[in-house]
Amino acid sequence: MDFNEATRGTTTMNKVLSLSNLTTLAATLCLCLAGSQAMAKDWRGWNIHPPTYPNSIALENFVSLAAQLTDGEVTGEVYHNATLGNQADAISQMQLGSIDFANFNLGPLGTTVPAANVVSLPFIFKDIDHMHRVMDGEFGDKLSAAMAEEGIISLAWYDSGARSFYNSERAINTPSDVEGLKFRVMNNELFVGMVEALGGNASPMAFSEVYQSLKTGVVDGAENNWPSYESTNHYEVAQFYSDTGHLILPECVCVSKQVWDGLSAVNQESLQIAARASADLQRRLWAQRAAASRQAVLDAGIQFNTIADKAAFQNAMAPVYAAAIEETPVLEELINDIQSVE
């Protein structure tokens, strides 16, 4: 409808028509506004952890800061405990725009964004501080750009500590101790290769299925950081925790490109600020929780062993690096990027 035409009527009939057209116009405008508000409001947030986990608290903090800083133009809800699906499904849903924000682990994300596989290479980071320096610098921006191409906007990086192997059979001190054991790994073939390179068998599986699989002996072990080993109760059914620390995986605060592109530049900036503040909080909470979880499982009687010399584990990873580079040649450059950060 031409708005000018509708308001230009001279006869009574025309005026009536104009009025009714205006009413329709007003109604349409209202609907449109309501529609666009509904799009900007009540974002659905995916989270795999229970509400008291550091990441969960920090992601809640991201949403409430986002609401404050955008004057209520962006509000949302975090759905904890993977109630919106496992991470693989959630990544697809984010690409489609039916999940608006999430805390994703970069490990399983490598199947969608092959460049992200670089952080899943075992022992790629020297330690957690090195991971922070790398991710908070130019490399993090480069990885964000690769993720954006797949529809996932990464705004800040969370911690997930170092992952180590645990199992129900024996302490692992050398790669030969892994032989014959079956480990659950996250969904990414790279992790299957990692376990096989140590002589073990691997079974990719959703996080939520691991406890039962350990309990019933479908797998002998898994690998994770202290907080998840504790929060999932895996320590009850796999009591040998060996300090391999083979993976230091960053996690992201991510927003769907579908909704991100519809935001004003000011709101995008506000979300960026909210995500960085949320990551600061997560890292502080993480450090506390990692120490508390470690103590809690030790108190519960798990068998913990340190590994004096990790070189044998690191050397065994050469074929994993080679296979990953062969599949995704850009990884060679990205490995150099990481290794050149002191």
Using CB under 6 A, list all residues that contact ligand BDP: 48, 87, 105, 160, 186, 207, 224-225, 228, 251
- 186 vs 238, which CB is nearer to ligand BDP? 186
- Is residue 242 within 8 A of residue 164, CB to CB? The reply is yes
* Matching residue, tokens 């797998």: 219
Q: How far is the CB of 17 from ligand BDP (least distance, A)?
A: 60
Residue 39 CA to residue 58 CA, distance in Å, equals: 23
Q: 67 vs 110, which CB is nearer to ligand BDP?
A: 110
Nearer to ligand BDP, 17 or 215 (CB): 215
Q: Give 207 or 321: the residue with its C-beta nearer to ligand BDP.
A: 207
- Using Cβ positions, the residue closest to ligand BDP within the complex turns out to be 105
Closest separation between CB of residue 180 and ligand BDP, Å?
22
At closest approach, how far in Å is the CB of 162 from ligand BDP? Answer: 10
**Residue 10 class from Cβ within 10 Å (0-12 exposed, 13-18 middle, 19+ buried)?**
exposed
Residues 6+ apart with CB under 8 A from 83: none
Beta bridge partners of 221: 167, 183
Nearer residue to ligand BDP within complex by CB, 213 or 228: 228
**Parallel, antiparallel or unpaired: strands 163-167 and 221-224:** antiparallel
Residue type at position 261: D
Question: Quick check: helix, strand or coil at residue 185?
Answer: strand
Taking the least distance from each CB to ligand BDP, the nearer of 49 and 267 is: 49
Least CB distance to ligand BDP at residue 227 (A) = 7
Distance, in Å, from the CA atom of 319 to the CA atom of 325, rounded to the nearest integer, reads 10
End-to-end CA distance of the chain: 63
Outline where DSSP puts E strands in the chain.
43-46, 76-79, 101-105, 152-158, 163-167, 182-185, 201-204, 221-224, 240-247, 251-256, 303-305
Residue whose CB is less far from ligand BDP, 48 or 78? 48
Please give the helix or strand (H or E) that residue 299 lies within, else none: helix 265-299
